[in-house]
A and B are shown apart, each in its own frame.
Chain A
């Protein structure tokens, strides 16, 4: 089956603009998480959505927001872009979300290829 799909793969924006990134999870997966990856800060959690509800949020300013649709596809939006927002934005999907690991669950977390955002 198809993997996690993210669009666009690459984009360049100007400071002050806003951007919307899209993520289509693996079919049947209801949890979508977003991560920001930068050389300096590594991989940092942004937020997680499950069944159209934000279940968890990382330590990012309110300029970063997201949503999830009834088909589990998710979008994240960054408003008033800053140079420091330049990063690889990764989407991850799983059946039940990171917390529902259980002892023998098949709740593996899979990543998309990411969206490379450059802010100039």
Chain B
């Protein structure tokens, strides 16, 4: 089945810096890659997603890139703010027809 690996597991940045989180997937048939942000005690919230027919998608300070050949996708957050502090999960949907999640990245933005 699908396997999604996510790095780093923790990331600490200064406010205003950029943050990059990377994920790799194993199923070449995967066609949907969402990113979720989960604050402590809260639900995972979709922040951006990308489908396999595009290589990059941007929404204000957040962008996602997809490299189907290398089977990896990345989340980029620019001009980080303290409220960006949370756990971020990448996920992929492949032939298993389910969301397979990465292990999560705890992002800490220091003021």
Contact = CB atoms under 8 A, between A and B. Distances in A.
* B is a partner of A: yes
Interface of A: 4, 33, 35, 42-45, 48, 55-56, 58, 90, 92, 97-99, 101-104, 108-114
A90 B31 contact: no
Given A99-B93, A103-B51, A43 B32 contact: no
B93 A98 contact: yes
B99 A97 contact: no
Interface of B: 31-32, 34, 36, 42-46, 49, 51-53, 89, 91, 93, 96-104
Contact of A111 (B45, B97, B100, B102): B45
A90 B97 contact: no
Given A48-B98, A108-B49, A101 B31 contact: yes
A101 B51 contact: yes
Contact of A42 (B46, B51, B97, B103): B103
Nearest to B32: A101
A111 B103 CA distance: 17
